Structure 1
Amino acid sequence: MNKYIIIIFLFVTTLSFGQRNQDWEKINSLKVAFITEKLSLSSKEAQEFWPVYNEYQEKRNALRKKSHNQIRGKIKDSNTLTEKEAENLLALHIQIEEEEEALDSSFLKKVSKVITAKKTLLLLRSEEEFKRQLMKQYRQNKGGR
């Protein structure tokens, strides 16, 4: 695990705003390696797991993008919204939240058929751990400048 923390640190120290897509690709590559190691996936498990996981991530990203595009920018201007516009925006926000919950639930059911329930819980923990390490290294790098 320590090698991934070092890799994450090295990556975060080289982040540049002009290469956003490449940066996300690098982060995703690190995340794949991190999760693979944490879950100790067999080759059979990996073959079945990654398509399910990648499909979930694509749908999750689409919902985040939808939320960002349709809601977040308008919330910043909430003082200028009419009450009806605010109601519609709130309803859309609730709808997207419900879609995310349904997606998460569906994913957990699917993935636990591909890997064990124990590994599914380990996946949840590993994702959080990866995010924490990434943010920790980012903050340390940002504070060091």
Structure 2
Amino acid sequence: MNKFIIIIFLCATSFSFAQKKQDWEKINTLKVAFITEKLSFSTKEAQDFWPVYNEYQEKRNTLRKKSYNQVRGKIKDVDTLTEKEAENLLALHIQIEEEEEALDTSFLNKISKVITAKKTLLLLRSEDEFKRQLMKQYRQNKGGK
């Protein structure tokens, strides 16, 4: 799929951004196509890259859920927390942030052995580009309703 088709597909696809499984599957499918196009993987690179990347994404999502369920979901009620509860919540937040940083570092070390350093940097840039395009599409769809 070339870049032009991906962009058209992004623009033509309406995202409700509800946490429906099919919406996230659609987004992930678009993300895979986008990254594949941007990084121009050889067959060998693709075979080696996707298992490492998918494992990283699963771990990252687990940490995000943990953060939301154990920290962010409780922050909205910060006014009702005791100081001790707030200290514990803050410590947990810091711990999760450190886990995320360690996961990111580990992933970058692993992936840069699977693909080149240049493609690793291109991956980071491509993920940011994809997020920007997705948010742009979301704002356009939200504004049109």
Q: Distance between the aligned counterparts of 2:86 and 2:15, measured in 1?
A: 41
Spell out, residue by residue over 1:89-144, the C-alpha distance to the aligned partner (whole angstroms, 9 max, x if none): 00000000000000000000000000000000000000000000000011011111
| Alignment partner, residue 62 of structure 2 | 62
| Alignment partner, residue 121 of structure 1 | 121
- Preserved contact between residue 9 and residue 138 of structure 1 (Cα < 8 Å): no
| Alignment partner, residue 50 of structure 2 | 50
Q: Distance between the aligned counterparts of 1:93 and 1:56, measured in 2?
A: 20
Q: Distance between the aligned counterparts of 1:139 and 1:14, measured in 2?
A: 10
TM-score scaled by length of structure 2? 0.95
Q: How many residue pairs end up in the alignment?
A: 143
Spell out, residue by residue over 1:56-114, the C-alpha distance to the aligned partner (whole angstroms, 9 max, x if none): 00000000000000011110000000000000000000000000000000000000000
| Alignment partner, residue 15 of structure 1 | 16
| Alignment partner, residue 77 of structure 1 | 77
Alpha-carbon RMSD across the aligned residues, in angstroms, is: 1.2
| Alignment partner, residue 36 of structure 1 | 36
Distance 1:132 1:14, change over 3 A: closer
Alpha-carbon distance, 1:29 to partner: 0.5
- Structure 1 residue runs of 4+, over 4 Å off? none
Q: Distance between the aligned counterparts of 1:72 and 1:64, measured in 2?
A: 10
- Structure with a larger share of its residues in helix: 1
1:63-142 superposed matches below 5 A: 63-142=63-142
Please, which runs of 5 or more residues in structure 2 have no aligned partner? Answer: none
Q: Counterpart of 1:63 in structure 2: which amino acid?
A: L
Please, which runs of 5 or more residues in structure 1 have no aligned partner? Answer: none
Task: Indicate the SS of the match to 2:98.
Answer: helix
